Chains A and B, each alone.
Chain A
């Protein structure tokens, strides 16, 4: 079952913050986050495992609430290079495949 992502699209000015949410109707083992720029392949950002993880990656961080089956990606002080489509991927068990969400298009403008 494909996870739900919100918002579908967001436009930011440089320096603004954004939050992208990912939720699943099933219990999760882990959540993956990837960014894809137009015409390119997705790039791995981070994985969060069950246990209520929170991770940071420069000014991009994420949290995972396994009880709520939700994850959020936080982009702080956005830069032009943050533009792209962000996909979350959910995994039910450690041996299961990743199911990608529909994506959130993020555009950062000067």
Chain B
């Protein structure tokens, strides 16, 4: 149980294009979904928290107009990197939880490796 999928697993795009990443909870309804960014050999940096049907809460320093998050249903959240630039290249990971906040476990998707040329 508690399986989260993420698509695509890897994407290479040209600078200036937009990239959409999908995160789905396959066997449970996720109250909250989280989006993280991870640079090589570094920790997970939370970008934003999203709840179904409401606007995402972005962490300080994360541009909400650049990283658009849509949480359309209890099983699907999407992250769109708009007008991507080489500095946006990173490993993006989503996670889903049964509870909001820190009281419950988070189940992570397999991640999306983005390379912007």
Q: Does A84 contact B (CB under 8 A)?
A: no
Within 8 A of A (CB), among B34-52: 34, 42-44, 46, 49
Q: How large is the interface on A (under 10, 10 to 19, 20 to 34, 35 or more residues)?
A: 20 to 34
Given A41-B110, A42-B108, A101-B43, 16 more A-B residue pairs with CB atoms under 8 Å apart are: A2-B43, A29-B102, A30-B102, A41-B93, A41-B108, A41-B111, A44-B2, A44-B108, A47-B104, A49-B103, A87-B43, A87-B44, A95-B100, A97-B101, A100-B44, A102-B42
Give CA–CA (A35, B16) in the complex, Å: 35
Report whether B109 and A41 are in contact in the complex, using a CB–CB cutoff of 8 Å. yes
Within 8 A of B (CB), among A78-106: 87, 89, 91-103
Indicate with 1 or 0, residue by residue over B4-34, a CB within 8 angstroms of chain A CB atoms. Answer: 0010000000000000000000000000001
Report whether A94 and B110 are in contact in the complex, using a CB–CB cutoff of 8 Å. no
Interface of A, helix, strand, loop or mixed by DSSP: loop
B62 to chain A, nearest CB (A): 13
Interchain residue pairs A-B with the least CB separation, the first 9: A91-B102, A95-B101, A41-B108, A94-B103, A100-B44, A44-B105, A100-B43, A41-B111, A42-B108
Q: Does A40 contact B (CB under 8 A)?
A: yes
- Interface residue ranges, B against A (CB under 8 Å): 2, 6, 34, 42-44, 46, 49, 93, 95, 100-111
Chain B residues whose C-beta falls within 8 Å of the C-beta of A89 in the assembled complex: 102
Report whether A42 and B93 are in contact in the complex, using a CB–CB cutoff of 8 Å. yes
A92 to chain B, nearest CB (A): 8
Most buried by B among A89, A97, A102: A97
Report whether B101 and A94 are in contact in the complex, using a CB–CB cutoff of 8 Å. yes
Which residue in chain B gives the minimum CB-CB distance to A94? B103
Q: Can you spell out 9 A-B residue pairs with CB atoms less than 8 angstroms apart?
A: A2-B43, A32-B102, A87-B43, A91-B102, A91-B103, A93-B101, A97-B34, A98-B106, A100-B44
Chain B residues whose C-beta falls within 8 Å of the C-beta of A102 in the assembled complex: 42-43
Which residue in chain A gives the minimum CB-CB distance to B99? A94
